[in-house]
């Protein structure tokens, strides 16, 4: 297939799951389907074995990087807070992989889209900190997913976010507000130097960030645009903007 028409390739870091005495390196298919169906991309799952292969060899072959959400939390050791059983589960192998991916991706100027856990990982990788349980802070909303057997209900769009004027996100989705499905326990506490706020929840929680001096597209969102990317305009716009940046970077 000619280079001009071949699909963009997007690296997606794996989560590590213990199943039947194996360690599986996997990613939820909602993210992969959004890349395939909306971004018109081919996702490539990168195993969380980053100390056993050269990250640069992966980045030589791909057009962008997307960090997914996960049931696991960023380990508190990475942002200077004592770990607690109450804040589990953790996935330290993914933590190591994504920190290296984030730094190498930004150094190269490759497009970077960070969703939920990825949004938090971006802040931590650049020196910021997290609230381990944002719902425990007085005056904050409970951002956790509701308990429901149906994923459509768990990931339903539930609240507005205010878009910062003049920012990267406003260029993508308009001036807002937009409604989102923000499901999380951890949230940004101290914003890393080099990041700027792109959106906030009604309780002040930082819901979107961008890298101020990035060479290209570098956006983090706390919510889950992948779940409704085929039907929700703002969700689709984020994936489409990411895909455009990947194609422009390739050309």
Is it the case that residue 61 has pLDDT exceeding 80?
yes
The pLDDT of residue 1 is above 50: no
pLDDT band at residue 2 under the 50/70/90 scheme = very low
Helices (H), 43-167: 55-59, 92-108, 117-125, 151-154
Q: How confident is residue 185, by pLDDT bands cut at 50, 70 and 90?
A: confident
Task: Classify domain 8-250 by CATH number.
Answer: 3.40.50.880
Greatest extent of the chain over all pairs of C-alpha atoms, in Å: 56
Q: Residue 20 corresponds to which tokens in the numbers above?
A: 């039947």
Contacts with 162 (C-beta within 8 Å, 6 or more apart), sequence order: 176, 177, 199, 200, 202
77 in Cβ contact with 42 (< 8 Å): no
Among 35-44, 75-84, 94-103, 162-171, the range scoring the smallest mean pLDDT is: 75-84
Instruction: Assess whether 226 carries a catalytic annotation.
Output: yes
Contacts of 207 (CB under 8 A, 6+ apart): 161, 180, 182, 198, 199, 200, 201, 221, 222, 223
Question: Among the options 116, 119, 121, 131, which is catalytic?
Answer: 116
Q: Which of these is catalytic: 25, 131, 184, 224?
A: 224
Instruction: Report residue 207 CA to chain centroid gap.
Output: 11
**Interaxial angle between packed helices 117-125 and 92-108, expressed in degrees from 0 to 180 and rounded to the nearest 10:** 70
Please name every residue paired with 211 in a beta bridge, in sequence order, or none if there are none.
195
Range with the poorest average pLDDT among 83-87, 175-179, 225-229 = 83-87
Between 176 and 103, residue with greater pLDDT? 103
| pLDDT higher than 90, residue 57 | yes
Average pLDDT over the chain reads: 90
CB 211 within 8 A of CB 218: yes
Whether 224 is catalytic: yes
Whole-angstrom Cα distance, residue 85 to residue 228? 32
123 burial class (0-12, 13-18, 19+ CB within 10 angstroms)?
buried
pLDDT at residue 145 in the model: 61
Domain parsing of the chain, residue ranges: 8-250
Query: Among 10-14, 96-100, 226-230, whose mean pLDDT is lowest?
Result: 226-230
Rounded to an integer, what distance in angstroms lies between the CA atom of residue 227 and that of residue 27?
Answer: 14
Region 186-215 average pLDDT? 94
* CA triple 232-70-238, angle to 5 deg: 30
Q: Which residues of 21-37 are buried (b: 16+ CB within 10 A; e: fewer)?
A: eeeebebeebbbebbee
7-21, 46-60, 146-160, 217-231, range with the lowest pLDDT: 146-160
> Can you name the residues that pair with 158 across neighbouring β-strands?
none
């Amino acid at each position: 297939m000619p280079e001009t028409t071949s699909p963009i390739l997007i690296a997606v870091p794996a989560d590590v799951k213990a199943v039947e005495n194996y360690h599986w390196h996997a990613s939820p298919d909602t993210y992969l389907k959004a890349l395939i169906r909306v971004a018109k991309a081919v996702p490539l799952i990168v195993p969380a074995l980053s100390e056993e292969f050269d990250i640069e060899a992966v980045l030589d072959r791909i057009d962008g990087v997307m960090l997914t959400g996960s049931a696991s939390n960023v380990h508190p050791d990475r942002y200077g807070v004592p770990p607690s059983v109450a804040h589990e589960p953790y996935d330290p192998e993914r933590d190591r992989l994504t920190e290296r991916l984030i730094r190498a991706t930004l150094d190269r100027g490759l497009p970077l889209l960070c969703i939920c856990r990825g949004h938090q990982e971006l802040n931590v990788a650049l020196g910021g900190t997290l609230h381990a349980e944002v719902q425990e802070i007085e005056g904050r909303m409970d951002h956790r997913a509701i308990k429901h057997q149906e994923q459509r209900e768990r990931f339903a769009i539930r609240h507005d976010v205010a878009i910062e004027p003049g920012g990267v996100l406003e260029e993508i989705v308009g001036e807002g507000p937009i409604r989102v499905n923000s499901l999380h326990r951890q949230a940004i506490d101290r914003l890393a130097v080099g990041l700027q706020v792109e959106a906030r929840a009604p309780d002040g929680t930082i819901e979107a960030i961008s890298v101020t001096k990035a060479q290209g597209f570098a956006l983090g969102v706390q919510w889950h645009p992948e779940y409704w990317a085929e039907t929700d305009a703002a969700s689709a716009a984020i994936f489409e903007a990411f895909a455009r940046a990947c194609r422009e970077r390739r050309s």
